[in-house]
Amino acid sequence: MSGGERHAEPVDVHLVLRRETRDGPEVLLSRQAGNVYAAGLWQMPSGHLDGPHEDVVAALVREAREETTVVINQADVRAAVTVHHRSPAGACRTGYVFEVRRWKDAPRVAEPDVCDAMRWVRLDALPDGMVAYCRAALEAYAAGTRIAVHFQQPGDAIAYDPGADRLQHLPDATGPSADGPGGAVAEFTERAVGRITEWTDTSWARTASQVWRAANRHGGAWYVKVHQNQRFHDREVRALRTWVPALGAAAPRLVAADPELRAVVLSEVTGRPLHGAAFPDWQEREVFRRIGELARRIHRSTPPTACPDGAGPAVGKADRHLAAARSLLAPGDEAFVRDLVCRAKDLPSLEWVETHGDFQLLH
């Protein structure tokens, strides 16, 4: 041990008061007010230990009652993440973050001289104007990280700044399963969403398909996809950034994209795949009706554009699809389709709208 004074720093506790909603988990934030540190910024309910007589769990229960009036049983406190933090001024502290999903009484502002508002926010949509330290702790918690380091630099703002994100996720002693992509793609994913504890290969049974489901220990899940060529990557990323948001909860959200890896990280969407599914006639009609509604929303997601010169009916594409479907066609079907395609050549050009190439059931 080196000589000199031993390092000492404050210990604080942070409360992740969590509730489940149809749109995903929400956590409680409070806004600092008055003559306090980080006034005007949002953070989790938190506080310091009163002294050596008080452990971190007892401190959390006390602080929660004093700040929000909620009553928490110590048996309902769960360890979430520990964060070693350094402020822009150079002072260090260790924060213990705890999750609580059961409590008594509705939270409300109990100390109006230091807190002027409280609100529930989605864990995957944290607001602007947060204390950077608190934001880092919540992101580490959401990612399933057990220990994180958040050392700010001189000149950094107290408020969260995505351009100066100092959060470092420390890996666990045991890594993710061997079913993951490994290497640079796994590192890219964990930079985007934090520590992944479970990988599941969900690739399609087709050449060059590379898709994985990535999950953390808190139940958060995403999909990671590596495109087989640059054209596919650029096309899908453009769609995810432009018209896909018009589909709302029916479509995934683009979390991150890396053009060099040709990889994307997407949010998980509830539901089940329709590929290969068999339905009675009435239910299949309903499925196609809903597919049609989504297709219409895609077509209307952006203003239409003029048809490029020479972009008439895709005769070559029709030939390819007819060849693939020939065994399913009745006598005369192929000639009928070819006649329609030929007639379409003489029709006036239509405006171009956004389309999706995979809106179909596969049997």
Give 11-169's CATH code, choosing from 3.90.79.10, 3.40.1010.10, 3.40.50.2020, 2.60.40.1510: 3.90.79.10
The pLDDT of residue 363: 40
- Distance in angstroms (rounded) separating the CA atoms of residues 146 and 76: 19
- Distance in angstroms (rounded) separating the CA atoms of residues 299 and 294: 9
Class in CATH terms, 183-267: alpha beta
The pLDDT of residue 362: 46
For the chain, domain boundaries: 11-169, 183-267, 272-363
- Distance in angstroms (rounded) separating the CA atoms of residues 226 and 252: 16
Burial of 20 per CB tally in 10 Å (0-12, 13-18, 19+): exposed
Same CATH topology for 11-169 and 183-267? no
- Distance in angstroms (rounded) separating the CA atoms of residues 256 and 188: 9
Residue 244: HSE in the Cβ half-sphere, 13 Å Cα cutoff = 16
The pLDDT of residue 216: 86
Query: Is the overall model pTM greater than 0.75, yes or no?
Result: no
Digitized pLDDT (tens) for each residue of the chain, 363 residues in all: 566 778 888 999 999 999 998 888 999 999 988 888 888 899 999 999 988 899 999 999 999 999 999 999 999 999 999 999 999 999 999 999 999 999 999 999 999 999 999 999 999 889 999 999 999 999 999 888 889 999 999 999 999 998 888 998 887 665 555 567 878 898 899 888 888 888 998 887 666 788 999 998 788 899 999 998 898 899 999 999 988 888 888 889 999 999 999 999 999 988 777 766 778 888 888 888 888 888 888 888 888 888 777 666 666 677 888 888 888 889 999 899 888 888 877 777 778 888 776 665 544
